[in-house]
């Protein structure tokens, strides 16, 4: 008889406790950190809208463009900026939808200048 009661107590102790009820929090009007809005520098385009650098990389974001500007040759930069308008600015305007950044990139006349104007403006 003693063994049966001991087994019941051990089995009861090993069972998971019942979950506590969660209390709904009052809405404060602030956005949760998970739902923060991304700036155009942090957005990534779908593969069909990626930018193909002449004889080089495929870029899908402004952060990728900034890195590519540092890595590309002067000939590649000239190919995309001197022919018929600035291809980088057109891509930013048309695919990423950032008119302001496109104008800033179009005004830059060097790789370093174009890379310098690409900044992340996400709220911290």
Q: Measured between alpha carbons, how far apart are the two ends of the chain, in Å?
A: 65
What is the pTM assigned to this prediction? 0.65
Q: How far is it, in rounded angstroms, from Cα 26 to Cα 56?
A: 52
**In the chain, where the domains are located:** 47-108
Nearest to 117 by CA among 92, 82, 87: 92
- What mean pLDDT do residues 1-14 have? 53
Residue 99 φ then ψ, to 5°: -65, -40
Per-residue pLDDT of 51-90, as tens digits, reads: 999 888 899 989 899 999 999 999 999 999 988 889 999 9
Furthest C-alpha separation in the chain: 95
> CB within 8 A of 54, min separation 6: which ones?
76, 79, 80
Q: Is pLDDT larger for residue 2 or for residue 110?
A: 110
CB 41 within 8 A of CB 62: yes
Q: What is the mean pLDDT of the chain?
A: 77
């Amino acid at each position: 008889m003693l063994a049966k009661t001991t087994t019941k107590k051990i089995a009861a102790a090993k069972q998971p406790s019942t979950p506590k009820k969660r209390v709904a929090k009052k809405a404060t009007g602030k956005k949760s950190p998970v739902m923060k809005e991304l700036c155009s520098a942090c957005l990534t385009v779908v593969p069909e809208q990626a930018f193909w650098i002449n004889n080089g990389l495929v870029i899908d974001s402004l952060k990728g463009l900034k890195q590519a500007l540092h890595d590309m040759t002067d000939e590649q930069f000239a190919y995309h900026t001197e022919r018929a308008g600035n291809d980088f600015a057109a891509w930013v305007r048309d695919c990423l939808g950032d008119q302001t950044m496109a104008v800033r990139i179009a005004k830059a006349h060097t790789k370093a200048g174009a890379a310098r104007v690409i900044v992340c403006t996400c709220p911290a």
